[in-house]
Amino acid sequence: MRTFTPDEANALLAELRPRVERLVDHKRRLDEAEEARRALLAPIAGNGGDITPSDVAEVTKRVAREASAIAGIVDGIQGEGVQIKDLDLGLLDFPSRRGEEVVLLCWRLGEDEIGYWHGIDEGYAGRKPL
């Protein structure tokens, strides 16, 4: 497992920030496409109302396109040794060490730099200032 110092993690943020922005945007569009698909398919579960196959096909393509974009970005970020914790928030954790203990440096989209850490089992709610 790769570990980062705060300086190393902050240096990598320059590269990761635009990817995380795209990731959050694709996740928002995926949610919208899935909601549109649910709305189109709801009449089938009810009274078998009219649906237009081309509409269902188009929204299904949108879902697949957004999911594929998310997967590609996730693979790239995780390939750097960084953990993605929340797609909606753009929340990343960077494994690090505090003495002998493995901890996670925590960053959220919108923050200028990494300013928090938490234990492996604590999560976002357990963030503490560096």
pLDDT at 41: 80
- The helix (run of H) or strand (run of E) holding residue 128 is strand 128-129
pLDDT at 117: 97
- Of the candidates 90, 78, 122, the residue with the CA atom closest to the CA atom of residue 103: 122
User: What angle, rounded to 10 degrees, do the helices at 53-79 and 6-45 form?
Assistant: 160
Alpha helices in the chain (DSSP H): 6-45, 53-79
| DSSP for 98-125, written as a single string | ETTEEEEEEEETT-SS--EEEETTT-GG
pLDDT tens across 31-50, in order?
A: 999 999 888 887 766 665 66
Q: Is it the case that residue 85 has pLDDT exceeding 80?
A: yes
pLDDT at 45: 62
Q: Model-level pTM greater than 0.75?
A: yes
| Cα–Cα separations (whole angstroms), residue 24 to 4, 29, 79, 83 | 23, 9, 18, 15
